[in-house]
Amino acid sequence: MSGRQRYGGRSGGRPGDRLGGAGGGWSRDWSGSWASGWGGGRFGRRFGRKGRRLRATAKDAFGWRRLRPGQREAMEHLLAGRDVLLVMPTGGGKSAVYQVPGLLLDGPTVVVSPLIALQRDQVMGLIKAGAAGAVAVNSAGSVEAGLDQVGKGDVEYVFLSPEQLAKPEVVDRLAEARPSLIAVDEAHCVSAWGHDFRPEYLRLGKVIERLGHPPVIAMTATAAPTVREEIIESLGLTGAQQIVRGFDRPNLYLEVRRFTGDDDKREALADHAAGLGGVGLVYVATRRQAEEYAELLTERGLRAEAYHAGMKAKDRRRIHERFHDDGLDAVVATSAFGMGIDKHDVRYVLHAAPPESLDAYYQEIGRAGRDGNPADALLFYRPEDLGLRKFFSGGRADGGLLRRIATLVHGHGGEVAAADLRELLGVGAARLASHVNLLERAGAVEVNHDGALRYLPDGPPQDEAAARAVEIDGLRHRMDDSRLEMMRGYAETTGCRRRFLLEYFGEPYERSCGGCDTCRSGAATPPETGDGPFPMHARVRHAAWGHGVVMSREQDRITVLFDSVGYKTLALGLVGELLETV
């Protein structure tokens, strides 16, 4: 009996839940603007036949009486066979968007999820709801047994990491089951511009094709325009429908405190955390800082522990469990404490230093206040800290290594195993992967589904391929530098911080929020509400930097996202003839 046949009838979902996702529904929304739902009135009359099927399935299988804006639209696109890129806040119900259509399409739903712990939570949530069978295929269990369940039609949802999908035998078994839907969670990991870039995600485009390219939904909570385009291109999404909903989190209070000395900043953060109630997160830049700040908080009477990638796996699991079970007041962590954090009552997120971009910052502060109640997001800031982030951004590509890779693959005349290349070149796997990725982007080589490389018949000459790859790497670094400068802009703005943050992601916010430090102090400058010569989202061309899009506008300046150099803030009085609309 298939998972789809087994789901009928009332589920274990709560009748009052308004939206879904593995792990339970939300009882509140970010702003109250969705309270009317989409279940009745004029919206209900326009729901259509597909909409009624979706609504009935959501209610019968999961107990969800309403669908949020963006959910229904994405579901209908998937049922129509279209690819979708969905950007929706954490807790906004992204999981529901593939769970409901998955029950209406004939074939298993493949869900790409980056963490085993996250897969486990999602599977348990679906089993608890009783909607359909689910299995995680990963190293924590029997891969063969999980794939057997998929092949027999015993499960509707199969969760895998991108590492599992890098194995040809796993992909071949999934292809035999003829998946009807593919969901890529944490899709920003695809993007080299993204804050959680994972090279394993780069192979998913080929996996999607090998699985017959059924409808694909790529999901993330935060993605600036450059990241969205990278996701679509890397996954090979065809005519993807982009649905971007609600970056705003009005229940988060935004504040920046500026310091000149590092010792003063450390003491101020520790004193502030000690005076707060509830559970919180403190993000730091290095492993050493995680240990030091955790000790400071412990000295002030908090139950605090450090968390970073240098710890043993069993210690990281223990801290996760204590955090989720309210056994800790605070976790002091590097960015390693990230994806898969699903605790709704986090009351504050403090940053001891700015991360590398507003993408990363928004993802991290988004772990606070998921229950809809007020929560604090404070950045303790020294301008000097940005230099450390620039140092961490990584080195430049090696043009000589790029030429050697291109020459070896081209000269072989066929496919070359990555292991053989590593041995010939004397480089590590990560370094080889980063350079091969650049050559792929340069249109010179391709990597097949089992990891072997071949030179494309119509690829450029090897020297030209290496030069193109170096140019692409230069663009990445320019983009990274510009994103770091936008992080500086957020920390140092005298305007509304919420407006600065939202407009970075391309969401207009032509007012002052009243929920950040600059607004509450009265220091925020009034926003520019008129169109002026360069309105929001206008396409422009600069004499030196080429084409771009206006991302935000103030009374005397605009911020433009340029294709060639990233974000630039321009004084309107000095632009002159250098900038024009197109």
**In the chain, ranges of CATH 3.40.50.300 domains:** 3-244, 252-392
Predicted confidence band of residue 36 (pLDDT cuts 50, 70, 90): very low
188 touches 156 (CB < 8 A): no
How many whole angstroms separate alpha carbon 157 and alpha carbon 101?
Answer: 11
Query: According to the model, what pLDDT value does residue 128 have?
Result: 76
Predicted confidence band of residue 18 (pLDDT cuts 50, 70, 90): very low
User: Which of 111, 30, 132 shows the shortest CA–CA distance to 375?
Assistant: 30
What's the angle, vertex CA 152, arms to CA 138 and CA 82, rounded to 5? 75
243 touches 85 (CB < 8 A): yes
Query: According to the model, what pLDDT value does residue 90 have?
Result: 67
**Residue written as token pair 């919206």:** 43
227 touches 193 (CB < 8 A): yes
Three-state secondary structure of 247-294: CCCCCEEEEEEECCCHHHHHHHHHHHHHCCCCEEEEECCCHHHHHHHH
Q: How many residues does the chain have?
A: 582
**In the chain, ranges of CATH 2.30.30.140 domains:** 528-582
How many whole angstroms separate alpha carbon 347 and alpha carbon 246?
Answer: 21
Predicted confidence band of residue 25 (pLDDT cuts 50, 70, 90): very low
Predicted confidence band of residue 391 (pLDDT cuts 50, 70, 90): low
CATH number of 252-392: 3.40.50.300
Pinpoint the alpha helices (H) of 442-549. Answer: 462-492, 497-504, 517-521
Model confidence pLDDT, tens digit, residues 165-209: 888 889 999 999 999 999 999 888 887 655 456 667 878 998 999
Strand ranges for 324-367 from DSSP E? 330-333, 346-351
In DSSP terms, 553 is beta-bridged to 558
Indicate the helix (H) or strand (E) that contains 56: helix 48-57
3-state secondary structure of 55: helix
**In the chain, ranges of CATH 1.10.10.10 domains:** 399-474
3-state secondary structure of 526: coil
**Who wins on pLDDT, 3 or 479?**
479
How many whole angstroms separate alpha carbon 550 and alpha carbon 541?
Answer: 10
Query: According to the model, what pLDDT value does residue 184 have?
Result: 94
CATH number of 3-244: 3.40.50.300
**Residue 313 is which amino acid?**
A
Query: According to the model, what pLDDT value does residue 15 have?
Result: 29
**Residue 346 is which amino acid?**
V
Q: Is the pLDDT of residue 23 over 50?
A: no
**Strand 546-553's sheet: what is its strand order?**
566-571, 557-562, 546-553, 539-542, 579-581
Indicate the helix (H) or strand (E) that contains 207: helix 204-210
Structure tokens of 149?
């369940």
Alpha-carbon distance values, 579 to 18, 177, 551 (Å): 47, 54, 15
Indicate the helix (H) or strand (E) that contains 85: strand 84-87
- Characterize the bridge pairing of strands 579-581 and 304-307: unpaired
Predicted confidence band of residue 374 (pLDDT cuts 50, 70, 90): very high
124 touches 282 (CB < 8 A): no
In DSSP terms, 548 is beta-bridged to 540, 562
Q: How many CA atoms lie within 13 A of 352 on its CB side?
A: 34
Alpha-carbon distance values, 571 to 298, 501, 557, 566, 568 (Å): 47, 19, 4, 16, 10
Query: According to the model, what pLDDT value does residue 40 have?
Result: 33
- Average pLDDT, rounded, for the chain: 83
How many whole angstroms separate alpha carbon 69 and alpha carbon 96?
Answer: 12
Structure tokens of 18?
């308004």
Model confidence pLDDT, tens digit, residues 333-360: 998 887 667 788 999 999 999 998 898 8
**Who wins on pLDDT, 360 or 20?**
360
Query: According to the model, what pLDDT value does residue 400 have?
Result: 96
> CA 331, 335, 337, 339 torsion: positive or negative?
positive
Burial of 12 (0-12, 13-18, 19+ CB in 10 A): exposed
What's the angle, vertex CA 545, arms to CA 220 and CA 536, rounded to 5? 55
**Residue written as token pair 């500086």:** 488
Query: According to the model, what pLDDT value does residue 434 have?
Result: 85
How many whole angstroms separate alpha carbon 569 and alpha carbon 489?
Answer: 9
User: What architecture is domain 528-582?
Assistant: Roll (2.30)
What is the number of helices (H) and of strands (E) in the chain? 23, 20
Alpha-carbon distance values, 314 to 196, 203, 326, 341 (Å): 23, 29, 18, 17
**Residue 22 is which amino acid?**
A
How many whole angstroms separate alpha carbon 421 and alpha carbon 415?
Answer: 11
251 touches 375 (CB < 8 A): yes
Predicted confidence band of residue 14 (pLDDT cuts 50, 70, 90): very low
- Characterize the bridge pairing of strands 216-220 and 84-87: parallel
Query: According to the model, what pLDDT value does residue 402 have?
Result: 96
Structure letter (DSSP) for residue 545 = T
Query: According to the model, what pLDDT value does residue 530 have?
Result: 58
- Characterize the bridge pairing of strands 346-351 and 279-283: parallel
Q: Is the pLDDT of residue 38 over 50?
A: no
Model confidence pLDDT, tens digit, residues 490-531: 999 988 999 999 988 888 888 889 999 999 998 887 666 556
How many whole angstroms separate alpha carbon 136 and alpha carbon 571?
Answer: 52
Model confidence pLDDT, tens digit, residues 550-572: 888 877 888 998 988 889 999 88
Q: Is the pLDDT of residue 302 over 90?
A: yes
CATH number of 399-474: 1.10.10.10
3-state secondary structure of 337: coil
Model confidence pLDDT, tens digit, residues 59-107: 777 777 777 778 889 999 999 999 999 988 766 678 888 988 988 898 9
| R_g of the chain computed on alpha carbons | 24
Model confidence pLDDT, tens digit, residues 245-260: 777 889 999 999 999 9
Q: Is the pLDDT of residue 35 over 60?
A: no
3-state secondary structure of 429: helix
Mean pLDDT of 358-384: 92
